[in-house]
Amino acid sequence: MRILLTGSSGWLGSALAPRLRGLGHEVTGLDPVPSAQTEVVGSVADRDLVFRIAREHRIEAIVHSGALHKPNIEHYENADFVATNVKGTLNLLDAAIAHGVQRFVFTSTTSLMISQAIRAGFQGGARQAAWLTEEMSPEPRNIYGVTKLSAEHLCRLYHIEHGLPVVVLRTARFFPEADDMAHAIEQSDANTKANELLFRRLTVEDAAEAHVAALEKAPSLGFDILIISAPTPFRPQDCPELIADAPAVVARYFPDYPRLYAKRGWTMFSSIDRVYDPSRARERLGFTCRTSFADVLAALEAEA
């Protein structure tokens, strides 16, 4: 396929573009930042540019992973988030309809699922971890989440009005930056990310593979919203104890983890406040992340 990939210079785009090309697709990367994966330097907010790319490159599929992200909140105005994340998505959807694009994959975020009420519960001593699925009604707590949810709604609208096949992937954390969670302050970055694979993280390689799967399945799915995160060992009934004593819950599923963590000087989070459930992606997309917490433990065991 001839694919337009936005955000091609970003962390995800830099992993996804070579993967798509390796599968034989013709990829046109669009990003404001130049890189080896970016053919066109520019913004999705530039409507004329988006339409020109779709027309001149005879685009058949769009993967929209470009966005202003949560860390950008300190440096950009709300209007910038609307221009890029909402109007930019609208530009791409309009170009898709105008030029006969056959499928559309939108990179969204699990971040928009955490409302201010849920956040307040975490900070105020919630009685159990939140079990988060696609069935909940998001109430985003910041401009990033608001604009990503607005873009999701646009995707749904264009499927309803135009029949455009769209798959929305709410990806959990896969970025390389250090974690911003309060309970991670005393832990190494590798320790923190290993812990998060239990409930809210995936590798960038798995994020790229999820997009490949979504491209393949979009016509048969029509429209869907899917959480993409490493498979969690936990179950909803674990949620009260995950808040009270997360290490005890983890030890029930992985009895060797305390020994392996001790070798590295690692620790488990004392409390886990949420779990993203990726089972719908497994059932509807046929996709499961390859890397899980069990793989981390296997690597630690192999170091002996």
Give a yes or no: residue 284 inside a domain.
no
Give a yes or no: residue 168 inside a domain.
yes
- pLDDT in the model for residue 246: 97
Q: What is the DSSP letter of 173?
A: B
Give a yes or no: residue 62 inside a domain.
yes
Position 259: which residue type?
R
φ, ψ dihedrals at 22, nearest 5°: -65, -25
- pLDDT in the model for residue 71: 81
- For residues 282-298, give the mean pLDDT: 97
Give a yes or no: residue 130 inside a domain.
yes
Q: What confidence category does residue 74 fall into, taking pLDDT thresholds of 50, 70 and 90?
A: confident
Q: What confidence category does residue 304 fall into, taking pLDDT thresholds of 50, 70 and 90?
A: low
Q: What confidence category does residue 303 fall into, taking pLDDT thresholds of 50, 70 and 90?
A: confident
Q: What confidence category does residue 125 fall into, taking pLDDT thresholds of 50, 70 and 90?
A: low
Give a yes or no: residue 81 inside a domain.
yes
Give a yes or no: residue 262 inside a domain.
no
Give a yes or no: residue 63 inside a domain.
yes
How many domains are contained in the chain?
1
- pLDDT in the model for residue 187: 65
Q: What confidence category does residue 123 fall into, taking pLDDT thresholds of 50, 70 and 90?
A: low
Q: What confidence category does residue 244 fall into, taking pLDDT thresholds of 50, 70 and 90?
A: very high
Q: Residue 180's domain is classified under what CATH number?
A: 3.40.50.720
Which residue range(s) make up the domain with 7? 2-186+200-230
Give a yes or no: residue 6 inside a domain.
yes
Strand ranges (DSSP E) for the chain? 2-6, 26-31, 40-41, 61-64, 103-109, 130-132, 166-171, 223-228, 274-276
